[in-house]
Amino acid sequence: MVRYLDLDLMINGIMDLFLLLLTARILNTPPSFYRLLGGVFIGEFPVLLSAFGSVPFLLTLSKFLTPFAMVWVSFTKVGIRTYVKRLTLFWILSVGLGGGVYALWGWVEFDGSSSNALRLGIQNFWVLPLGSLFWWGGQKVSLNWLSNVKKLRASVYDVLIDFGEHSNPIKVKALLDTGNQLRDPLTGTPVLLVEEEIAAAGMPADWQTIIKGSWRNLDDPWPWLWKEDSSWMKTFVFIPYQAVGHKSYLLGIRPQRIVLGSSEPQDIQATLALVQHPLSQDGAFQALLHPEHVQGSGG
């Protein structure tokens, strides 16, 4: 049988890319083109090994380990629990789209041949009930995850933030947080919590001075703000919050414009509060909305 390596690589790469994109879509994970490209590249290793007559054990091992590496490279780094979710869903999609029995047979090659014929001997019949059991269990787990993702999506909104002149507007996913009751202490405007690293990427360069300022080590940062530049009071504010055992402040920013939603966008009034830690372990959202933003009473 004649094999065309370029065709094998192309088909395998397209299928891997589709499965990775589908995994990201279902779990509401923002995909990165370069990470996905790296995952697809890793997925080509078993094809290359099989084409050049690799040792059977090495080829089987590569087929087993490749999905672990593909999922690890294709998505942003998260905790082990989220990684296992992504890996499990990727496996379920791979098996389901490829056909349960055919995928198991083609991956492990139980009869040791490379024939295209589907031969399942009586000694390997255990593959059918075992594969069915794994598929059933995987479906139960994935349906539970999908239910949670569906609920999450209903509370996640697209938000565009424009900081004004010499800045780059940024888009974030914002979760409606009914427990967010923070307000701008000077204007009373509801607060939108945003991850500092993401917000900083769209700000004017000269704003980095205050973001990295020494006010974080002060019990009362307001005098520091007045001393550094009194004009900053128009844009920046310190938002008090009560943590466990102590009171502290978040740096607040009043951007030029904030737009909520994508299908029916509307401008909302909000003061941003920058937080230094990720708001979502799996990157599903990067901001937290105040309830009034969605109800419309805030803007």
Confidence of residue 194 (pLDDT cuts 50, 70, 90): very high
For the chain, domain boundaries: 5-153, 157-295
Q: Which CATH number fits domain 157-295: 2.70.98, 2.40.70, 3.30.870, 2.40.10?
A: 2.40.70
- Does residue 120 surpass a pLDDT of 70? no
Q: 226 pLDDT band (50/70/90 cuts)? A: confident
d(CA 22, CA 18): 6
DSSP secondary structure string for all residues of 199-234: HHTTS-GGGHHHHTSGGGG-S--HHHHHHH-GGGGG
Residue 133: count other Cβ atoms within 10 Å of its Cβ.
10
DSSP state of 190: B
List the one residue out of 156, 207, 184, 209 whose CA is nearest residue 269.
184
Burial class (CB in 10 A: 0-12, 13-18, 19+), 113: exposed
At residue 291, what are phi and psi to the nearest 5 degrees?
-55, -35
- The answer to whether the pTM exceeds 0.85 is no
* Helix, strand, or coil (residue 164): coil
How many Å apart are CA 288 and CA 179, to the nearest integer?
Answer: 10
pLDDT of residue 123: 54
Q: Return the pLDDT at 160.
A: 94
Which two structure tokens, joined as six digits, stand for 32? 């990165």
Mean of the pLDDT values across residues 97-104? 52
| pLDDT recorded at residue 110 | 46
Query: Structure tokens of 279?
Result: 């708001």
Cα atoms in the Cβ-side hemisphere of radius 13 Å centred on 169: 10
Mean pLDDT of the chain: 79
Which candidate, 95, 48, 28, places its Cα nearest to that of 67? Answer: 95
Calculate the CA dihedral of residues 45, 48, 50, 54 and round it to 10 degrees: -90
| Closest by Cα among 248, 246, 266 to 258 | 266
Residue the block writes with tokens 């006010």: 215
What pLDDT shows up at residue 299? Answer: 40
| Three-state secondary structure readout of 269-296 | CCEEEEECCCCCCCCCCCEEECHHHHHC
Pairing mode, if any, of strands 170-176 and 287-289?
parallel
pLDDT computed for residue 145 by the predictor: 62
Residue 127 scores a pLDDT above 70: no
Strands 191-195, 236-243: pairing is: unpaired
